[in-house]
Amino acid sequence: MISDENEKKVGKNEMLYADLCLCYLSLRNNCWTELLTICMQCLLKVALKKEESEEVQKEVEMALLTLSDIEYYNVERELFLDEIKEIIIYHQEHRNLTQLAYQSAWGFLTNRLFNDENLEEVIVNDLHFVREARREMEELMKYVYWKREKEERGKEGKEEIILSKWLQNLGKFLFFSRLRNEEYSVLVKSIVLAFRSAKDNYRDICSQCVESFSYSVINKNVKVEDLLKRGAVSLILEEICRPTLNDFVTYESLEFFVKISKKLKEEEEDEMEEAKRKGSKRKAFEKIEEEGYEDIIICFHERFDFLNRDRFGVLSLCISDYFVNV
């Protein structure tokens, strides 16, 4: 049906065509590449609509939300880049999209980093992703009801859902990122704020925040001293010190320290870089020592086997793996 509508030269039912493409991409298991391209171009055309009516806004939102779910398919940039740039830039100037639609436009674009690392420069320098992500997240956090009563927990509102989607975007972006940009350091502060706000009632959001920190360490796009300065290290130490531990956040917090330790042990040829590295190690060590991190980890020994089974991972029983060795 999609192919038939696509091939019509006259008399094409545009609404039916768009609905068919929405259904196909939403229900797909594996996409036929040619059909994926046809559907993607159809929905990008819908998303480019500029009318401000509620009906058109809903069409645009559904088109972008569906596109954002196309993750690791290889799509040539000439098939989408001009259109998605136009959508994002127009919104930055006119604020015509809903919060979900705007997040979804970015979600579609950051998913393309999996197959095209060169997109990062466009995302950061031309479209100002970091600035926009910070602004959107901080705006959403104003409207999340963070202090839910016990019986209300687990009932997410739209702001929490969109905030969680932004954090997913950031995690993917930091995972695939290869550039180093000073803006990324400021982004850490916003993620810290999201974690602190969510820590009592929204543990999935906390988990996403820790993942973002870990990805930034792995790919070296945020310096360890920035994680210290912006409060990420202190935040995760506080999490480990909580009297009631949450298993998946605990596991990811421990992994975060393993990654920092490995990064700070890496050898640097440049003497100035080596001096900076030693300074960062000393600061991290002092912070860990101050918080009593060593005693806490020793107390975790009995839990490691459970955490490994629960998270299908391997946390070492070797205490030194969890410390920054100066």
pTM of this structure: 0.84
Q: Please enumerate in sequence order all residues whose Cβ is within 8 A of that of 188, keeping only pairs 6 or more positions apart, or say none.
A: 213, 216, 222, 226, 227, 230, 231, 232
Q: Higher pLDDT residue, 9 or 302?
A: 9
pLDDT value at position 8?
87
Average pLDDT estimate for 235-255? 79
146-165 average pLDDT score: 73
Start-end of H helices in the chain: 2-7, 14-27, 33-47, 54-67, 81-94, 99-111, 119-121, 129-141, 158-176, 182-198, 203-218, 224-229, 232-240, 247-265, 271-290, 293-299, 301-311
pLDDT score of 151 more than 70: no
Percent of the chain at pLDDT exceeding 90: 35
Task: Give percent of the chain above pLDDT 70.
Answer: 90
Q: What pLDDT does residue 152 have? A: 58
Confidence class for position 150, pLDDT limits 50, 70, 90:
low
Cα separation, 68 vs 64, in Å, equals: 6
Considering the chain, what is the average pLDDT of its residues?
84
